[in-house]
């Protein structure tokens, strides 16, 4: 990874009341990924994938359910070069402080993501004759072990799953994406009265329309003859006006002990090129706008079903024919930038000379947020003898298209919170700050992925993936007084510092783990069993060398019947994972050696209470580790250093001169 930034700033002072600043800047970002070992020759084993060039050597992505997978990282890379011109003018005019300006920004993104470039296969035990075998009759008391064995059997028999379809990327996905954005704003801070200040203004944003340097992008548009429309990919929008207003008011004249502040603002989001370029959802849809099957050299990702590996026999087509089944990618024609309306009201009260209390309400609502829907999602199981994608709504017009993932601007969100802070300025050597927040974040989706049911987006409305209801955090510092007038180098310079954070858990999405709905989306949720407690109370299971903690009751959730072609009754993100708690304590001793040299000795104790902080468990009911706490919050199965990790102590000595 390489990052470089360069800027030139020119300041012009026309008078003591009029100042202008012009900034010319550019940024460079380079990032590449690939498997560390690219020597494995998949095709040499007899698996004919038709790979050439950059992708000829390296491991194919093969996932056997219950095990780690091969081919984790195909070639991925991007080079971003961004340049901008920004101008800001400050003008003081009586009781007004005006600020106005604008910016032009040009982004050049050279992206080549070869996702599934070496092929992708999943084996889940759903193909062979053992699929319906009873686990008990096979001698397995645990269904998870039986499921893993069936998956291995499918792998040995060369029969990948149809639920997570076998797919591969064909041709060159590398493109240079271009986007130009323009912004302008005007703002005024008006001192109406000594006790009242009003801030107001407006901003206009033009987020641009994404295109590429050779005009080789095509958007799926069923209203267009031939279905794939060349650029522009979507309509431009010139009506992105964003007002803002805020105030600060001291209600009691002659004293500044109480201040009331409030603000409201409208903020447009800059659409990221990434949501159009790379969106690997895994539902047979194209991974980005570059991989639509159109143009003179189309990038396409054929998917195959009901295959069995045979040595030397081609698995995927190498050219796009009229019968090749592929996914597509679409951008809503009237797609527009999403926006947030942020608002807050707070009261700040000085309790004592050195103590400040703030009580606040902070909230926001989001509209026209980006989301992805499969507009060609199957409407149920396929009838016997019918084509595999015959229940897709566009089958009659486009019989070779599988999932069509469309980026839309129809998402909404809302956030409400109560916030409390108490600040203690230094008093007899003690200073501290404490923050408490109760918050609730809700949305239709927190990531660029399809919902459980693209025809019923409301079924996915629920807590945001990052929702945390309660958070308490802060710090404290105590500068100890000198113990004695004698030996000052030894008796003074001591301090104790503490950092603390306590919070509730993040949501867990309870998934069925199988394609019960027959939609190939992979987002089916489970059914909750009435009368069974959801939480297991961290039941301890003792193994030969490790202890595991069962956080969720395994019998509290089940997959819907395999023949129902229905959706589970569990709401999205309705169960919360384990909370977090951490107190870090530090002891400092600063000793002056000379006038210019001093030594600092510190002892730092992380997680002094040694509280166990676990990451969310798996929420997939078919997983052998469902509901089991196996990793710490930082994602490590082997605890180490870092916030919330098991208690550890470190010592340090620093010399300053």
559, 621 contact by CB (below 8 A):
yes
**CA distance linking residue 521 with residue 378, whole number of Å:** 9
Of 208 and 303, the one with more pLDDT: 208
Q: What is the pLDDT of residues 363-397, one digit of tens each?
A: 999 999 999 999 999 988 888 888 888 999 999 99
Of 514 and 635, the one with more pLDDT: 514
Which range among 213-227, 244-258, 528-542 shows the weakest confidence by mean pLDDT? 528-542
Q: What pTM, to 2 d.p., does this model score?
A: 0.84
Structural domains in the chain (count): 1
The answer on pLDDT for 21 being more than 60 is yes
Mean pLDDT across the stretch 493-516?
A: 93
Alpha-carbon distances of 177 from 383, 402, 651, rounded to whole Å: 43, 26, 49
255 inside domain: no
Q: Identify the pLDDT of residue 642.
A: 67
Cα dihedral 560, 563, 567, 570 in deg (nearest 10): 0
Q: Identify the pLDDT of residue 623.
A: 86
Q: Identify the pLDDT of residue 197.
A: 96
The answer on pLDDT for 509 being more than 90 is yes
Sheet holding 547-552, edge to edge: 535-542, 547-552, 628-629
Strand ranges (DSSP E) for 34-75?
Answer: 61-64
Handedness of CA 155, 157, 163, 164 (dihedral sign): positive
Q: Identify the pLDDT of residue 544.
A: 53
Alpha-carbon distances of 406 from 196, 222, 287, 288, 374, rounded to whole Å: 49, 12, 11, 10, 6
Mean pLDDT across the stretch 332-361?
A: 95
138 inside domain: yes
207 inside domain: no
Which range among 249-258, 367-376, 505-514 shows the weakest confidence by mean pLDDT? 249-258
Which range among 217-231, 310-324, 529-543 shows the weakest confidence by mean pLDDT? 529-543
Mean pLDDT across the stretch 200-213?
A: 94
Cα dihedral 139, 142, 148, 152 in deg (nearest 10): -10
414 inside domain: no
Mean pLDDT across the stretch 627-640?
A: 73
412 inside domain: no
162, 111 contact by CB (below 8 A):
no
Please, what's the largest Cα pairwise distance for the chain? 96
The answer on pLDDT for 638 being more than 60 is no
Q: Identify the pLDDT of residue 164.
A: 72
Q: Are strands 211-212 and 218-220 parallel, antiparallel or unpaired?
A: unpaired
Of 363 and 613, the one with more pLDDT: 363
Instruction: Give the structural domain span for 132.
Output: 125-160
Question: Taking all residues of the chain, what is their mean pLDDT, rounded to a whole number?
Answer: 89
- What is the DSSP secondary-structure string of 113-155? E-TTTT-EEEE-S-SSTTTT--TGGGT-SSHHHHHHHHHHHHH
316 inside domain: no
To the nearest whole percent, how much of the chain has pLDDT over 90? 56
To the nearest whole percent, how much of the chain has pLDDT over 70? 95
pLDDT band, residue 639 (cuts 50/70/90): low
What the block records as the tokens of 242 is 């964003």
635 inside domain: no
pLDDT band, residue 541 (cuts 50/70/90): low
**CA distance linking residue 445 with residue 462, whole number of Å:** 8
**CA distance linking residue 364 with residue 417, whole number of Å:** 9
Angle among Cα 538, 541, 547 to the nearest 5 degrees reads: 90
Of 295 and 101, the one with more pLDDT: 101
Which range among 37-41, 499-503, 531-535, 615-619 shows the weakest confidence by mean pLDDT? 37-41
Q: Which residues contact 64 (CB under 8 A, 6 or more apart)?
A: 123, 151, 152, 154, 155
497 inside domain: no
Q: What is the pLDDT of residues 39-93, one digit of tens each?
A: 888 888 888 998 888 888 888 999 998 888 888 888 889 999 999 999 999 999 9
Q: Closest Cα to residue 521, out of 465, 458, 558, 567?
A: 567
pLDDT band, residue 633 (cuts 50/70/90): confident
**CA distance linking residue 281 with residue 116, whole number of Å:** 12
pLDDT band, residue 137 (cuts 50/70/90): low
pLDDT band, residue 271 (cuts 50/70/90): confident
């Amino acid at each position: 990874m390489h990052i470089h930034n360069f800027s030139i700033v020119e300041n012009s002072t026309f008078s003591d009341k009029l100042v202008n600043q012009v900034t010319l800047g550019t940024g460079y970002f380079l990032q590449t990924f690939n498997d560390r070992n690219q020597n494995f020759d998949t095709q040499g084993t007899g698996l004919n994938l038709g790979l050439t060039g950059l992708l000829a050597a390296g491991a194919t992505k093969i996932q056997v359910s219950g095990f780690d997978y091969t081919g984790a990282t195909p070639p991925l890379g991007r080079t971003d070069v961004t340049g901008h011109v920004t101008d800001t003018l400050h003008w003081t005019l009586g009781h007004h402080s005006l600020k106005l300006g604008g910016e032009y920004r040009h982004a050049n993104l050279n992206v080549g993501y070869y996702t599934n470039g070496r092929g992708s296969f999943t084996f889940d035990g759903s193909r062979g004759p053992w699929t319906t075998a009873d686990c008990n009759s096979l001698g397995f008391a645990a269904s998870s072990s039986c499921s893993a064995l069936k998956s291995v059997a499918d792998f040995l028999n060369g029969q990948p799953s149809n639920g997570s379809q076998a797919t591969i990327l064909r041709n060159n996905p590398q493109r240079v994406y271009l986007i130009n954005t323009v912004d302008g704003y005007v703002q005024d801070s008006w001192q109406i009265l000594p006790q009242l200040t009003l801030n107001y203004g407006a901003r206009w944003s033009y987020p641009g329309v994404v295109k590429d340097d050779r005009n080789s992008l095509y958007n799926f548009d069923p209203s267009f003859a031939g279905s794939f429309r060349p650029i522009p990919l979507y309509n431009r929008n010139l009506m992105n006006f964003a007002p803002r207003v805020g105030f600060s008011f001291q209600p009691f004249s002659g004293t500044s002990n109480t201040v009331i502040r409030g603000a409201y603002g409208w903020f447009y989001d800059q659409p990221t090129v990434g949501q159009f370029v790379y969106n690997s959802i895994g539902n047979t849809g194209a991974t980005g706008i570059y991989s639509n099957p159109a143009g003179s050299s189309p990038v396409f990702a054929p998917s195959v079903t009901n295959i069995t590996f045979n040595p030397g026999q081609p698995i995927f087509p190498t050219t796009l024919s009229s019968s090749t089944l592929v996914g597509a990618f679409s951008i809503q024609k009237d797609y527009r930038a999403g926006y947030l309306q942020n608002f807050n009201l707070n009261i700040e009260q000085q309790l004592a000379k050195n103590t400040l209390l703030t009580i606040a309400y902070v909230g926001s609502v989001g509209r026209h947020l980006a989301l992805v829907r499969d507009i060609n999602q199957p409407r149920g199981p396929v009838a016997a003898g019918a084509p595999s994608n015959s229940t897709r709504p566009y089958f009659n017009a486009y019989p070779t298209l599988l999932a069509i993932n469309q980026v839309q601007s129809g998402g909404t969100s809302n956030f409400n919170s109560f916030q409390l802070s108490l600040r203690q300025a230094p008093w007899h050597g003690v200073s501290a700050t404490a923050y408490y927040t109760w918050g609730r974040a809700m949305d239709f989706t927190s990531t660029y992925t399809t919902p459980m049911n693209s025809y019923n987006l409301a079924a996915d409305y629920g807590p945001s993936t990052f929702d945390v209801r309660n958070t308490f955090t802060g710090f404290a510092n105590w500068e100890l007084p000198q113990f004695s007038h004698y030996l000052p180098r030894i008796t003074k310079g001591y301090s104790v510092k503490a950092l603390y954070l306590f919070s509730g858990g993040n949501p867990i999405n309870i998934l069925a783990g199988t394609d019960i709905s027959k939609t190939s989306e992979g987002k089916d949720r489970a059914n909750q069993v009435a009368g069974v407690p959801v939480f297991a109370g961290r039941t301890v299971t003792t193994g030969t060398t490790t202890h595991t903690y069962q956080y969720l009751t395994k019998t509290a959730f089940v997959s819907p019947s395999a023949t129902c072609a229905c959706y589970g009754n569990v709401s999205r993100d309705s169960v919360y994972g384990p909370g977090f708690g951490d107190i870090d304590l530090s002891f400092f001793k600063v000793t002056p050696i000379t006038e210019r040299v001093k030594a600092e000795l510190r002892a730092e104790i992380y997680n002094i209470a040694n509280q166990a902080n676990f990451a969310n468990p798996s929420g997939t009911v078919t997983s052998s580790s469902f509901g089991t706490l196996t990793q710490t919050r930082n994602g490590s199965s082997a605890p180490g250093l870092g916030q919330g990790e098991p208690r550890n102590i470190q010592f340090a000595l620093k010399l300053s001169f």
